[in-house]
Amino acid sequence: MTRIDERAESDAAPVRRRARWAIDVRPLRTPAYRRMWIGTAVSMYGYQFTAVAVPVQMYALTRSSFWVGLLGLAALLPLLVFGLWGGAVADAVDRRRLLLASSSLAWVATLGLLVQALLRVGSPVLLLGLVAVQSTAFAVSSPARQAIIPRLVPRGLVPAANTLGYTTTTAGMVLGPLTAGLVFAAWAEPVALPIAYATDALLFTVSLWATLRLPAMPPAETVPPAETVPAAETVPPAVVPPAAAAAAAADAAAAADTPASAAPTKATIADAPAADAPTADAPGVGGPAEGVGGPAEGAPAVAVRSVGLRSIGDGFRYLAGTPVLLLSFAIDIIAMVLAFPRTLFPQVAAERFGGGAAIGWLYSAIAIGSVLGGLTSGWIGRVRRQGAALVAAVVGWGVAIAVSGFARQLWLMVLLLAVAGAADLVSAVFRQSMLQVYVPDRLRGRLQGVNTVVVAGGPRLGDLRAGATAAAFGATASWVGGGVAAAVLAVLLALAFPALRRYRAGD
């Protein structure tokens, strides 16, 4: 066993030296990941001020949950267009630069929200437009951000890194809406709105700083056609970890089937990390000096990838050949489109609980459950039947959402939404870890683009569904009916397609 293998094995060993239920913090030993984690957590806290302020402002302008639901549509359309394209770009350019550019666009959109609040423009259409710009920036930045994580930490710590990320960002989703609720309770809307947007704009600069401090993230090497250069020549055989060797072999097989007319032009990317190999920033893992950080001296030129429809199609072809990933996306769509009651929060807070700070508690409740679930998530890494666990988590989400729709006491609704949030964290960690570990680095950006469309687009469709059904049948029917439908359809999906419930870690 090489020194690299020994260190990787030590990093990925079972967590028997600490409490079996406690959250795994080992990824924080990686400086680049730690900075990214801090920046994302702080900016997510700030974004919650905007996430509360925009629907509150829209409802105040229109007095209609349907208009609030249109915010979801305004966010969805850019996600559908730019999420897939952003994933293809993330596989073709330096992911750090792409993340910095798209994050800057999101910051500009937040400044636009601040300016319109200060000037008291009062235009629902302008709100929809600024939300669409923010969504465009998110659609491009999210695939790059998620595809970066496996390049920062060893593969065995990817689930722990995802759990840390979800837990800390959802902690921001707890504290942010609660603080925003206090702001709206303390000041009238014309004063509270600029405060909320300004807080978001200020805190987002921490994320920009963290992105600036990331190492370069050029595209991972592609393997040239097998008849030109053997895949094993790109990394010295003595230091290739078994998982990386398997991925390289798979890449070589895929390259051998590529038509000559589809082959891209050539260029040299000398500092690209080997696919699926830990980078120099990873704790206890050798960097380039040990032959892992980049290609061997004299290695062949690697391909520059296109970012057009052909590149996006490659990602879909890979996805079509992996039923487990397809089903994991399908069950998430069921959960988010049918059982996401966020659009109804302003109406329910006003009608049942008198408005004020209640709106903050409703927007925070799901995140509270996710934080508590994350802090007690040590068991997640030991689950082998991840497919069955994913199905159970989605069913639990739907049932908890349905029951919470009947609650007439604020504390009870918050409690039930928190239970739903804990189930959501479990399902999110399993889905993201399956995607990041299963997919080779050369396709991670494109598959993360699909994931962005599903994970972020699903709630937007859920916003539209909830608003439309509430306008037709009332808030309670929309809330409860969506939760029941999600739980039932998740069970039916698992029964109809057993590949998902039979999936085990390592398959």
pLDDT digits (tens, 9 = 90+) for 53-105: 999 999 899 988 788 888 878 887 888 888 778 888 888 888 899 999 999 99
How many CB atoms within 10 Å of residue 16?
6
Tokens matching residue 444: 């991670």
DSSP E strand stretches across 182-230? none
In a domain, 252, yes or no: yes
Contacts of 293 (CB under 8 A, 6+ apart): 271, 273, 274, 277, 279, 280, 286, 287
Query: What tens digit of pLDDT does each residue of 194-215 get?
Result: 999 999 999 999 999 999 999 8
In a domain, 13, yes or no: no
* Whether residues 298 and 325 fall in one domain: no
Given a cut of 60, is residue 9 above it in pLDDT?
no
* Whether residues 473 and 397 fall in one domain: yes
Last residue of a domain, one of 249, 274, 304: 304
> pLDDT value at position 503?
83
**How does residue 287 score in pLDDT terms, banded at 50, 70 and 90?**
very low
Eight-class DSSP state of 239: G
* Whether residues 390 and 436 fall in one domain: yes
In a domain, 507, yes or no: no
In a domain, 127, yes or no: yes
Last residue of a domain, one of 283, 304, 325: 304
The span from the CA of 304 to the CA of 296, in Å, is 18
If you average pLDDT over residues 402-421, what whole number do you get? 94
User: Average pLDDT, whole number, for the chain?
Assistant: 77
**How does residue 19 score in pLDDT terms, banded at 50, 70 and 90?**
low
Note the Cα 53 to chain centre separation in Å.
22
* Whether residues 252 and 103 fall in one domain: no
Last residue of a domain, one of 304, 329, 364: 304
Query: What tens digit of pLDDT does each residue of 368-393 get?
Result: 888 888 888 777 767 778 888 899 99
In a domain, 223, yes or no: no
Tokens matching residue 492: 């039916």
Is the CB of residue 369 less than 8 Å from the CB of residue 418? yes
Range of the domain at 108: 3-8+18-217+314-501
The span from the CA of 57 to the CA of 59, in Å, is 5
If you average pLDDT over residues 284-305, what whole number do you get? 34
Q: Lowest mean pLDDT of 34-38, 287-291, 307-311, 347-351, name the range.
A: 287-291
Q: Select from 324, 301, 320, 339 the least CA-distant residue to 424.
A: 339
Q: The CATH number of the domain where 469 resides is what?
A: 1.20.1250.20
Stated pTM of the model: 0.63
* Whether residues 206 and 340 fall in one domain: yes
Q: Which amino acid is at 363?
A: Y
* Whether residues 235 and 210 fall in one domain: no
**How does residue 219 score in pLDDT terms, banded at 50, 70 and 90?**
confident
The span from the CA of 169 to the CA of 210, in Å, is 15
If you average pLDDT over residues 471-498, what whole number do you get? 93
84-88, 141-145, 302-306, 312-316: range with highest mean pLDDT: 141-145
Eight-class DSSP state of 49: H
What phi and psi, each to the nearest 5 degrees, are found at residue 215? -70, 165
In a domain, 123, yes or no: yes
Question: Largest alpha-carbon pair distance within the chain?
Answer: 71
> pLDDT value at position 506?
63
In a domain, 90, yes or no: yes
Query: Phi-psi region for residue 274, left (φ > 0), alpha (ψ -120 to 50) or beta?
Result: beta
Q: Lowest mean pLDDT of 73-77, 251-255, 431-435, name the range.
A: 251-255
Tokens matching residue 252: 């070589």
If you average pLDDT over residues 182-202, what whole number do you get? 93
If you average pLDDT over residues 496-506, what whole number do you get? 82
In a domain, 211, yes or no: yes
Q: Select from 259, 251, 254 the least CA-distant residue to 277.
A: 251
* Whether residues 194 and 275 fall in one domain: no
Given a cut of 60, is residue 15 above it in pLDDT?
no
* Whether residues 290 and 352 fall in one domain: no
Is the CB of residue 174 less than 8 Å from the CB of residue 187? no
Given a cut of 70, is residue 262 above it in pLDDT?
no
> pLDDT value at position 290?
29
* Whether residues 203 and 236 fall in one domain: no
* Whether residues 425 and 351 fall in one domain: yes
* Whether residues 357 and 318 fall in one domain: yes
Total domains, the chain: 2
* Whether residues 322 and 430 fall in one domain: yes
Q: Of residues 82 and 444, which shows the higher confidence score? A: 82
